[in-house]
């Protein structure tokens, strides 16, 4: 195979290209459980940060293996923008986000409001709002606050709850949904 592969093209980049093409043609899953258990050959995420103006659309998992460069790219976008600190986002959180996005079959990215938060940022936000948890999973890279321009908070929350893979908080007045990979639970904020 090495003879047929153009110089500068790695096996991993060929797999990524194939995965990107195949995921576009993949059927929408009726539920996230099968998707999270590996029913698909690839998982992808499409995120946009209004804070930084950055956007990531990437395949981060192919054939049972995470692509470290893609996970880092997602984690960089989900960084604590106030302190410019990066923490690798828990892959279970990425899986829940990806499954939700796939189920909703949206033509829009998730808009990231909050991903990783440093303890200092979390403490500052706690001083401003009672709704910020003292031991927030944002501080461990296990949570994300998201919205989508063409889906309601109810639609996003329903997709996330169907995953049965973590916490889901629906904040209607603020227009976002909290997703995490902690204990399975749901609430309205």
169: CATH: 3.30.1380.10
Q: Within 13 Å, how many C-alpha atoms sit on residue 51's CB side?
A: 16
β-pair type (143-147, 176-180): antiparallel
Whether the pLDDT of residue 84 is over 80: the answer is yes
Mean predicted confidence (pLDDT) in 153-179: 96
pLDDT tens-digit map of 5-64: 344 444 454 444 444 434 433 333 334 444 455 445 899 999 999 899 999 999 999 999
Residue 2 lies in a domain: no
Neighbours of 138 (CB within 10 A): 26
What are the CA-CA distances from residue 137 to residues 74, 152, 167, 183 (Å)?
Answer: 17, 23, 10, 11
Q: What angle do CA 45, 95, 144 make, to 5 degrees?
A: 75
1, part of any domain? no
In the chain, the DSSP E strands lie at: 42-49, 55-62, 65-66, 110-114, 143-147, 167-171, 176-180, 185-188
Residue 70 lies in a domain: yes
What's the length of the chain? Answer: 189
- Sign of dihedral through CA atoms 121, 174, 33, 20? negative
Kindly state whether residue 4 falls inside one of the protein's structural domains: no
Count, in order, helices (H) and strands (E) of the chain: 6, 8
Distance in angstroms (rounded) separating the CA atoms of residues 174 and 183: 23
pLDDT for 40 equals 56
| pLDDT confidence of residue 146 | 97
Domain count along the chain: 1
- Tell me whether residue 6 is in a domain: no
The model's confidence at residue 73, banded by pLDDT at 50, 70 and 90, is very high
pLDDT in tens, 119-131: 999 999 999 988 8
* Residue 80 included in any domain: yes
Task: Report if residue 57 sits inside a domain.
Answer: yes
What tokens does 5 get? Answer: 């592969």
Q: Give percent of the chain above pLDDT 70.
A: 79
Average pLDDT over residues 131-151: 95
Cβ atoms 156, 104 nearer than 8 A: yes
Which residue range(s) make up the domain with 144? 11-188
Within a domain: residue 49? yes
């Amino acid at each position: 195979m090495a003879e047929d592969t153009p110089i500068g093209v790695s096996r991993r980049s060929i797999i990524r290209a194939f995965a990107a093409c195949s995921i576009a043609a993949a059927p929408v899953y009726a539920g996230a459980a099968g998707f999270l258990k590996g029913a698909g050959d690839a998982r992808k995420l499409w995120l946009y940060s209004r804070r930084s103006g950055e956007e990531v659309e990437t395949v981060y998992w192919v054939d049972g293996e995470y692509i470290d460069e893609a996970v880092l790219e997602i984690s960089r976008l989900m960084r604590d923008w106030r302190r410019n600190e990066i923490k690798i986002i828990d892959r279970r959180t990425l899986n829940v986000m990806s499954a939700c996005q796939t189920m909703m079959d949206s033509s829009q990215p998730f808009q990231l409001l909050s991903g990783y938060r440093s303890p200092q940022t979390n403490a500052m936000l706690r001083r401003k709002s009672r709704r910020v948890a003292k031991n927030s999973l944002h501080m461990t890279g296990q949570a994300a606050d998201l919205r989508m321009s063409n889906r309601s908070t109810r639609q996003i929350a329903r997709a996330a709850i169907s995953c049965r893979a973590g916490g889901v908080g629906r904040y209607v007045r603020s227009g976002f949904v909290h997703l995490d990979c902690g204990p399975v639970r749901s609430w309205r904020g």
